[in-house]
Structure 1
Amino acid sequence: MPNSPNLVLPYIEAAQAQKHVTHNDGLRVLDAAVQLSVLDRDLTSPPASPSDGDRYIPASGATGDWSGKDLNIAAWQDGAWAFLAPREGWLCWVADEDVLVVWDGSQWIDAGNVASLNPASGGLVGVNATADTTNRLSVTAPAALFNAEVDNFNFKGNKSAVGDTVSFQLQQGFTTYGEFGLIGDNDLSFKVSDGTSFFTSFKIGNADGEMAMEQPLGLKAYSKSSLPPVSPAGRLIWVWDDADGAQVAYSDGGGWKRIKDGTAVA
């Protein structure tokens, strides 16, 4: 008697006697396979007192009535075990673990560990969060790790045109207070916000690497008695009690010098 190609459901033959037998056999297969959910996938021997309709995935090394049916679907129907061999792509809910698994052709794996989601269905992926059409990848977690597979690892963000933006936004309460990236041009910009307005602190030109301050530069203030170490050279500070009045000073690696005349802070 021919069967259907996927679920191997028995067809009713023309002029067949006792058609209800074939029909009911097909319904039993559907009852076991449709909306597939099993109670457990770790047992190697059948439970002593199963209830009608109970389903399991016999673990490797199955014994007794499950012998030779490792990783199949075992369904208790009409007082006996019926078995379904899974096909690649079958999904199954494992009730005692609250996990969705998928048959990859040789084993059941967690559906979240499928080797490829390329592309993810609908283009939305949420991890402990709900993704939407704007935030198509949404993650709620204490941390996220991206690890180099071999040697190097690059974060990449690509925009379509020079006037577009690709940036990192740093938020509190979903309000952005810090942003850096290629914002409206191809210079690297660093911005802050009071929650309403944005202020560019500085930019690094993409053509020459030159840094341009967009806001006044505030130097850390020191007294003559509390000057920081002179190394490394090239740093700038504000000395508020120099003998000639408040001064901007620089370190030459050997001492702190007034920037106005190169003499030592005194």
Structure 2
Amino acid sequence: MSDTTDILELPLILPAQAQKHVTHNEALLLLDALVQLAVADRDRSAPPALPVAGDRHIVAAGATGLWAGQEGQLAVMTAAGWQFLAPRPGWQAYLLSEARLAVYDGLSWVTPDQTAGSFARLGISATADAVNRLALASPAVLMSHAGAGMQLKLNKASAAETGSLLFQTGWSGRAEMGCTGSDDFAVKVSADGSAWQVALALGAATGIADFPQGLRVAGSPVCSRASLVGTVTQSAGLPTGAVLERGSNASGSWLRLADGTQICWHHGFSVANVSTALGAGFTSPAVSWSYPQSFLAGSAPVVSGLADGVDCWLAAAAPSASSASLRVLSFLSKAGSQALRVMAVGRWI
């Protein structure tokens, strides 16, 4: 039969042993040292200068003096001096200097932050569940670098899955940003957690930014795909409709800008001839061009253009806000018709 116990190696009282109290007291002293184990520290390599009976330490590496060669051992100060106890794997000790628990893993004493721990669920001031396996209730969360940069990674299984940050009010979604249902990055918002509006979309393949709901800058009217090209309107110098308006009819084409500028052009008509004598040259009959869109009343546009014939040029006589009288001039008589290309630039408002 062994003289000690199998686990803590406490001395056993043997049959017919004399002075049994000595063995019994030694076992009690070992229990006193190991039960509810709490040590002062684990980073001391030499004993303190003024130890007190009952002091307990974990001997650090590079031990010297009375602790030499006792690295990793439990050093207990007794009436007889320092006593060293060899830990076994799984022993736990509370570190008073660090206010946390350490476990002996067979080689050294480690705290939870020094081990590769794994938890099926973890709740910090909150209850984790099967879906929210990590749950935290806190006024704030701080994640800082460990000497350089830092990344927060959200990895999804495939492009069709979701990797996003969801912001809620009363457990109902109000804003979400990330890759939802594709690898494009999007920011979307909701007033009720049910109907969502995509405010910003960034194409994964192109990097092009799209604003499906339009864009408003410093209180200015919304700018969207629908409002860029459409019917132009204006109030007090500010656009109230589209930015650009493009159209055409039998009298030509026009481009109207929200700032009040208007451009009209036409190249689908001609004059019959350029054969009427005029001074040292010749002129065509007058032809009237009614603009496809009228200009601002009392503000005639600038009309210019050209005739397709060689040695010909175009002249406009007293253009009005709605039309212009055009003639083709030439130094040579032209019996055939001459095609015209004309343009008028002015203001529509």
TM-score, reference length from structure 1: 0.59
Structure 2: how far apart are the matches of 1:242 and 1:115? Answer: 70
Shift in CA distance, 222/61, structure 1 to aligned 2, threshold 3 Å: closer
Number of the residue aligned with 1:170: 167
Number of the residue aligned with 2:113: 113
1:132 aligns with 2:119: no
SS of equivalent residue, structure 2 residue 94: strand
Structure 2: how far apart are the matches of 1:178 and 1:197? Answer: 11
Give 1:1-266 correspondences, 5 Å limit: 1-13=2-14, 15=15, 17-18=17-18, 20-43=21-44, 44-51=46-53, 53-109=54-110, 111-117=111-117, 119-120=118-119, 123-124=121-122, 126=124, 129-130=125-126, 132-133=128-129, 134=132, 136-138=134-136, 140=138, 141-145=140-144, 155-158=153-156, 167-171=164-168, 176-180=173-177, 190-194=187-191, 199-201=196-198, 216-220=213-217, 246-249=240-243, 258=244, 260=246, 266=261
Higher relative contact order (CA 8 A, sep 6+): 2
Q: How many residues align?
A: 234
What are the ranges of 5 or more consecutive residues in structure 1 without an aligned counterpart?
Answer: 224-235, 250-257
Paired residues of 1:247 and 1:259 also in contact (CA < 8 A): no
SS of equivalent residue, structure 1 residue 248: coil
Structure 2: how far apart are the matches of 1:61 and 1:211? Answer: 61
Q: Which moved more, 1:132-141 or 1:240-249?
A: 240-249
> What amino acid maps onto 1:201 in structure 2?
V
What whole-Å deviation, never above 9, does each CA across 1:44-83 have from its counterpart, x for those lacking one? 12342403x2211233343443232233211123443221
Shift in CA distance, 186/61, structure 1 to aligned 2, threshold 3 Å: closer
Paired residues of 1:46 and 1:65 also in contact (CA < 8 A): no
Q: Which moved more, 1:237-246 or 1:88-97?
A: 237-246
Number of the residue aligned with 2:273: none
Shift in CA distance, 262/220, structure 1 to aligned 2, threshold 3 Å: farther
* Residue 112 of structure 1, CA deviation: 3.4
Shift in CA distance, 137/190, structure 1 to aligned 2, threshold 3 Å: same
Q: Which moved more, 1:186-195 or 1:63-72?
A: 186-195
SS of equivalent residue, structure 2 residue 242: strand
* Residue 175 of structure 1, CA deviation: 7.0
Structure with the greater alpha carbon radius of gyration: 2
> What amino acid maps onto 2:128 in structure 1?
D
Structure 2: how far apart are the matches of 1:68 and 1:107? Answer: 14
Structure 1: how far apart are the matches of 2:238 and 2:71? Answer: 89
SS of equivalent residue, structure 1 residue 143: coil
Structure 2: how far apart are the matches of 1:175 and 1:62? Answer: 59
> What amino acid maps onto 1:143 in structure 2?
L
What are the ranges of 5 or more consecutive residues in structure 2 without an aligned counterpart?
Answer: 221-227, 247-253, 262-349
Structure 2: how far apart are the matches of 1:198 and 1:36? Answer: 58
> What amino acid maps onto 2:60 in structure 1?
A
* Residue 38 of structure 1, CA deviation: 0.9
What whole-Å deviation, never above 9, does each CA across 1:216-251 have from its counterpart, x for those lacking one? 43444798xxxxxxxxxxxx69995698954534xx
Number of the residue aligned with 2:285: none
SS of equivalent residue, structure 2 residue 30: helix
* Residue 105 of structure 1, CA deviation: 3.8
Structure 2: how far apart are the matches of 1:199 and 1:145? Answer: 33
> What amino acid maps onto 1:114 in structure 2?
Q
What whole-Å deviation, never above 9, does each CA across 1:5-62 have from its counterpart, x for those lacking one? 543334555x3525554444333333222332112334412342403x2211233343
Structure 2: how far apart are the matches of 1:115 and 1:171? Answer: 34
Shift in CA distance, 22/173, structure 1 to aligned 2, threshold 3 Å: farther
Structure 1: how far apart are the matches of 2:179 and 2:22? Answer: 70
Structure 2: how far apart are the matches of 1:64 and 1:180? Answer: 61
Shift in CA distance, 173/104, structure 1 to aligned 2, threshold 3 Å: farther
* Residue 116 of structure 1, CA deviation: 1.0
> What amino acid maps onto 1:178 in structure 2?
A
TM-score, reference length from structure 2: 0.48
